[in-house]
Amino acid sequence: MKNSNFKFLIIAISAFVLISISTSFVNAENVPNWVKNNALWYGQGQISETEFLNSIKFLIENNIIVLESDKKFEKLIDTQILIPNGNYDVSGGSFYLPLNLEIPTNTKVTWLNDDTVLHTIQSQDKFGNIVGLFNSAPLNSGDTFEFIFTESGVYNYYCSLHPWRVGVVTVT
């Protein structure tokens, strides 16, 4: 009798875990009768754990139980773009370093103003119009601005105080 209670406890815990991590609660009408029978038979010791787990695997593979992706467990990557000294000079050769930063999604980019004058970071669309995606206040020398890129795409930006200074972040 103890073994039967233990198996029932395992079934109950398994069902609770699967339902609590799914994006929506499982509707009992969507669960095939053979899966329900397998749960019963496993609790009664008539089928193996492998057969029972294969039933749960079937539910997941057929989107009867849908597991959500939890982005908080993905590793956040950090990288930096430098606004070098002399970047304000239109005739100078200073550019953002790097000029085109290529990164994966879920990367935090930090712009560091290493110049002696104020700079801004203003996001632009492909036509050069300012968009409200990421826009910094004026950055003093030594100040930073951060943005996390969560979606792939090509992101253009420039300094509104020195509009000849443009840069690109390419997210793959």
Q: Can you list the positions of beta strands (E) in the chain?
A: 77-83, 100-103, 107-113, 122-124, 130-135, 144-149, 153-159, 162-171
Mark whether 30 and 86 lie in a shared domain: no
| Number of domains observed in the structure of the chain | 2
What distance in Å separates the CA atoms of residue 94 and residue 165, rounded to the nearest whole number?
A: 9
Would residue 23 count as lying in a domain? yes
pLDDT digits (tens, 9 = 90+) for 132-168: 999 999 999 999 999 999 999 999 999 999 998 999 9
Answering whether pTM is above 0.85, one says no
Enter the tokens of residue 121: 């970071």
> What pLDDT sits at residue 134?
95
Mark whether 33 and 88 lie in a shared domain: no
